Structure 1
Amino acid sequence: MTEHNEEQVLLLRRRRRRCCLIATGVAILLLLAFFIIILILALTVFKTKQPITELQSAKIDGIAPRVTFPAVDIQLNLTLDLQILVKNRNRASFKHGSGKSLLLYRGKQVGVVDIDPGLIPARGSAVLPCRLTLQVDEVASNLGALIRDVLDGELVMETRTRIPGRVNLLGIFKKHIVATSECQFTVAVLAFKIQSQKCKNKARF
């Protein structure tokens, strides 16, 4: 091999090495840019937001008072149909597991409802129906107040809801969320609907 040919071979090798280094550098820069874009999206557009839960309606489906004699025994059963609205503010679906909603009257738990698992689409919402019967035995200590409230036409009650779930971002990032809410609401007995409500929402990531 002549000296000229050797120089050409060396030059060709240098060019190939340079092309490989350039291609490797470009690939690394592209990967770095891709991860930076994903990180920015995760911290801005796709930042995990807490779902909002609130009572959409609380209808009194049945009131069944009964008084027995000669021993005075007052029984007052109320059946409530609760419609819990869950709003998913994330740009990713929210898959929630089994949850619970507690019903309280004058600070005392008087009922509990299990919430079935489900899937709420991105930027969507779902109504979770809950039905419970409030037994007078559970509010025996506040029986007089309950009867007065019913006769006055207004019931002030509270719900405490807990829904665990997971947000799936781009099929890559999965974040667990426990959404909780506390709602105080007033039900108009004669109108069978919510008259007013105040809700506080929290989320634990």
Structure 2
Amino acid sequence: MNFGWKELLTLGGYLNWAGQVSVVLALTLFKPKQPKTTISSATLQSISPAINIQVNVTLDIKIQVENRNRASFKHEDGTSLLMYEGVEVGDTDIFPGLIPARSSTILPCRLVLQADKLASNVTGFIKDLMGGQLSLQTVTRIPGKVTFLGFIKKHIVAVSNCQFVFGVPDMEIKSQICKNKAKL
């Protein structure tokens, strides 16, 4: 079958157009975006300072993860660390799950403050508790992947660093600043 130069030019034009559309889609619509993570609520479950300087604090934290991609984000086991004045004082696991495209979900976590890790600054911690405001930091790491069109897969590790001030008498978050980044 012989093709004339007009047919070849037309075919070349169509292939060129399809290539340009593919590049534009790959750079805009199918580009993975980092998930946005915030702490939606924190509840102080229990506090029991005793005379012998033993402190027991349990925080129920709800981490909201917003998937801004046009594809679902299937995440694996993640971790969330609780920090007080730069020292890790608690941690929790985040269980695997699926966050639908362009939506958000709440991941509940229970963080138990480990008193032995607070030993270096327990007086400052008790002073902050009695002052009514506790300044804490969470570092959350959630690995997973985004799948576009069923076959384009991109691995993403969402990392969030949230600093928040927790009001002790009213048991609510007074302020928070979260910085999110994704490793593609």
TM-score, normalising length from structure 2? 0.91
Question: What is the CA distance between 1:135 and its match in structure 2?
Answer: 2.8
Aligned with 1:64 (options 48, 58, 68): 48
Match of 1:92 in 2: 71
Compute the RMSD of aligned alpha carbons.
Answer: 1.9
Taking the aligned partners of 1:126 and 1:28, their CA distance within structure 2 comes to 46
Question: What is the CA distance between 1:172 and its match in structure 2?
Answer: 2.4
Taking the aligned partners of 2:19 and 2:99, their CA distance within structure 1 comes to 28
- The one-character-per-residue Cα deviations of 1:64-111 (angstroms, maximum 9, x if unpaired) are 2222xxxxx221211100111111111111111111111000110001
Taking the aligned partners of 2:44 and 2:4, their CA distance within structure 1 comes to 74
Aligned with 1:115 (options 94, 107, 131): 94
Q: Residue type matched to 2:127 in 1?
A: R
Gaps of at least 5 residues in structure 1 are 1-16, 68-72
Classify the secondary structure of the residue corresponding to 1:66.
coil
Match of 1:156 in 2: 135
- Correspondence 1:204 to 2:177: no
Classify the secondary structure of the residue corresponding to 2:88.
strand
Classify the secondary structure of the residue corresponding to 1:65.
coil
Match of 1:10 in 2: none
Aligned pair count? 184
Match of 2:148 in 1: 169
**Larger Rg, first or second structure (1 or 2):** 1
Taking the aligned partners of 1:26 and 1:126, their CA distance within structure 2 comes to 48
Residues 194 and 178 (structure 1 numbering): CA distance in 2 closer, same or farther, change over 3 Å? same
Question: What is the CA distance between 1:31 and its match in structure 2?
Answer: 5.2
Structure with higher helix content: 1
Taking the aligned partners of 2:31 and 2:67, their CA distance within structure 1 comes to 13
Classify the secondary structure of the residue corresponding to 1:145.
helix
Taking the aligned partners of 1:95 and 1:22, their CA distance within structure 2 comes to 48
Aligned with 2:117 (options 138, 156, 164): 138
Identical pairs, percent: 51
Indicate conservation of the 8 Å contact 2:34/2:67, yes or no.
yes
Taking the aligned partners of 1:125 and 1:20, their CA distance within structure 2 comes to 55
Match of 2:33 in 1: 49
- The one-character-per-residue Cα deviations of 1:166-204 (angstroms, maximum 9, x if unpaired) are 111111211111110111100000111110011111111
Taking the aligned partners of 1:32 and 1:177, their CA distance within structure 2 comes to 31
- The one-character-per-residue Cα deviations of 1:114-139 (angstroms, maximum 9, x if unpaired) are 11111111101111110021132220
Gaps of at least 5 residues in structure 2 are none
Residues 113 and 20 (structure 1 numbering): CA distance in 2 closer, same or farther, change over 3 Å? farther
